Structure 1
Amino acid sequence: MDAWWPVADVLAYLAGRWRVERSVRDLAGGEEGVFTGTTVFGPLDGGGLLHEESGEFTWRGVRRPATRTLRFLPGDVPGTAEVRFADGRPFHDLDLRTGRHVAGHPCAADLYRGDFTVRDADHWRTVWRVGGPAKDLVLVTDYGREA
């Protein structure tokens, strides 16, 4: 049985720099890819955190630079967050007060289901299962806090 580490304030917990390792598995085609890099959660004007991820993604033997930007805004409930894409569109909510959270996001005809777990003060994981007519993927991302 998994033990989760409760987080009283998700924004305070995430602030800083994290090492990132992500595996991407295409369940339909059997292909696998890997992303390695860093994520920085820095202050966002007006409150919240700007999530800036950068690194290299290897898919079908080809390595390419990859980046992603998200906005983590204070949620309606203290200690929670509302995650938005860089352009402001809603992505999902995030509540780690129990150490675990499940979120969903519809994207066209596909559905993203995210399972977030906090292991301790310096390690957390996301598992996204993406299913629908366009995608059949599992993305597992492990985060480790950098000193």
Structure 2
Amino acid sequence: MGEFWPVPDTLAFLAGTWRVERSVRDLASGTEGRFEGTTVFGPLDGGGLLHEESGTFVWHGVPRPAERTLRFLPGRRPGTADVTFADGRPFHDLDLTSGRHVTDHPCVADLYRGEFTVRDADRWRTLWRVRGPAKDLVLSTGYMREA
């Protein structure tokens, strides 16, 4: 399947600065939003990467500043990563060695299912499908490496 770009080392691939564009669709209400900004994967004390995302999220036509921080730690297998929230709670695993990875994150009664695909050395994307009693969302994010 030539549409995926295998990555020998997930953390090495992600390191650096990425331009981010995310669409958010609430399937229950039909509302759509958009995030545009930057994600920086910088060195983390003790190994791994600190993911710092910042930009503008537009929801119901109202732009607001938005940011989030995650930690990408060396995974259990070479070339993989374990992603945690900033406070250390587990989020999901990440293995881009084949160029594609699917993972789940249960959040209270909702289930987040993420699909990660690497397109080439400078582009990757995520697609999160969120289903449950509280949410019915699709979040699609494109990342493009900044020079």
Instruction: Give TM class, smaller chain.
Output: over 0.9
By how many angstroms is 1:145 displaced?
0.0
Residue 142 (structure 1) aligns with: 142
Structure 1 residue ranges without an equivalent (≥5): none
Paired AA for residue 144 in structure 2: G
Structure 2 CA distance for partners of 1:138 and 1:2, relative to 1, 3 Å:
farther
By how many angstroms is 1:74 displaced?
0.0
**Secondary structure, aligned partner of 1:115:** strand
By how many angstroms is 1:3 displaced?
1.0
Residue 15 (structure 1) aligns with: 15
Matches within 5 A, 1:25-40: 25-40=25-40
How many residues are treated as equivalent by the alignment? 147
Whole-Å separation in 2 of the counterparts to 1:4 and 1:111: 25
Structure 2 CA distance for partners of 1:56 and 1:2, relative to 1, 3 Å:
farther
**Secondary structure, aligned partner of 1:22:** strand
Residue 54 (structure 1) aligns with: 54
By how many angstroms is 1:37 displaced?
0.1
**Secondary structure, aligned partner of 1:119:** strand
| Moved segments of 4+, more than 2 Å | none
Structure 2 residue ranges without an equivalent (≥5): none
Indicate the percent of aligned positions where both proteins have the same amino acid.
78
RMSD: 0.8
Structure 2 CA distance for partners of 1:27 and 1:122, relative to 1, 3 Å:
same
By how many angstroms is 1:2 displaced?
6.2
TM-score, reference length from structure 1: 0.99
